[in-house]
A and B are shown apart, each in its own frame.
Chain A
Amino acid sequence: MARVVVDVMLKPEILDPQGQAVASALPRLGISGVSSVRIGKRIEIEFAGEPNLEGARVIADRLLANLVIEDFVVRVEDTTEEPE
């Protein structure tokens, strides 16, 4: 099975109020020193045969990410167990 992973993140200049809310909760966990939290999306696309990286890029570019506010990274993830 071939899995392509797409990571979608808000562009750095776009405010991420969710990330800010999480960051502001961290001191209550007793963890200090965090300067920023940003929240994005991870999408896993599974292909029946070979991973279609180009196809995944089209999916990411046209649907999964809104390039006005988001950037994306596409990569193939090896899901096979140790080769026989």
Chain B
Amino acid sequence: MSTIIGVVTFPGSLDDRDAVRAVSRAGATAVRLWHGDADLHRVDAVILPGGFSYGDYLRCGAIARFSAVMETIIDAAKGGLPVLGICNGFQILCEAHLLPGALTRNQSLHFRNRDQRLRIGSTASAWTNAYVPGQEILIPLKSGEGCYVANAHTLDELEVDDRVIARYLGDNPNGSQRDIAGIRNEAGNVVGIMPHPEHAIDPLTGPSVDGLGFFASVLGYLARGPAKPPPGMEAVAASGVVGSGSGPAGFGPAGSGPANSVPALRSAATA
């Protein structure tokens, strides 16, 4: 059975269709989820897409965080459901406190729209395991409030625990502290990234196909299960991924099922 990935549409979401396309391109089945529907419809993973949910009123992501679907996603993410937040989705994950820190106005005050080089950091996440640490990728960035901030203690912790999944290369486009472009939670199932991997999955429409690795990663992750559950998380891992139809049966060695496709996609992403 094909892996099912839900893509949430909030009022003001912009990149939900591209996220759906990226999911299909990676070989999974995409299901549209609606912000007002608390039911996750048995999806194996969730993507919070880019855009301007609720018009970015109050703060980016602040109102979306209280939507019906987010209440369910927050609980499921704490139970291990893989969740990827892109751009506005990253802002929502921070507002929901599933990820630390916050995203603030670009230091330049300019909206930045360009193809952005990134260096992949941690690959110990549901959404980055198809990359190799240190790999350079090129994906579009388009945001006005992409400046990642957190207190020094949190930033140190992110670095020590290898939780920075990508950093900006070249000029820092928005003033993000320590050039942070994306981070993961402790368990590795929740990832937020400011640039847009879903716009870099097809040479016809994107600057590269480097973004495909995010979507290939979650397929491998769901097929194998979390590689190394952190201390205290064994119970969660053993109970299988929340909402997954595969359950513990999916915890076979790499090389069976969808995991097969990951090395191929990795080389594609490196090309």
Contacts and interface: CB of A to CB of B under 8 A. Distances in A.
Contact of B102 (A15, A18, A64, A69): A69
B66 A63 contact: yes
Given A14-B149, A15-B175, A66 B107 contact: no
B59 A66 contact: yes
B58 interface: yes
A37 to B, nearest CB: 14
A60 B105 CA distance: 21
A69 B97 CA distance: 13
Given A17-B109, A68-B94, A68-B102, A63 B150 contact: no
Contacts of A63: 58, 62-63, 66
Interface in A1-46: 13-15, 17-18, 21
Interface residues of B, number: 21
A18 B150 CA distance: 19
Contacts of A64: 58
A17 B107 contact: yes
> Which label, helix, strand, loop or mixed, suits the secondary structure of the B interface?
loop
Most buried by B among A13, A15, A63, A68: A68
A69 B94 CA distance: 11
Given A14-B149, A63-B58, A68 B108 contact: no
A15 B150 CA distance: 12
A17 B102 contact: no
A17 to B, nearest CB: 5
B241 to A, nearest CB: 28
B101 interface: yes
Nearest to B108: A17
Given A63-B66, A66-B62, A68-B150, A18 B109 contact: yes
Interface of A: 13-15, 17-18, 21, 63-64, 66, 68-69
13 contacts: A14-B149, A15-B107, A15-B149, A17-B107, A17-B108, A18-B105, A63-B62, A63-B66, A64-B58, A66-B102, A68-B94, A69-B104, A69-B149
Given A17-B106, A66-B62, 7 more contacts: A15-B107, A17-B107, A17-B175, A21-B109, A63-B66, A66-B102, A68-B101
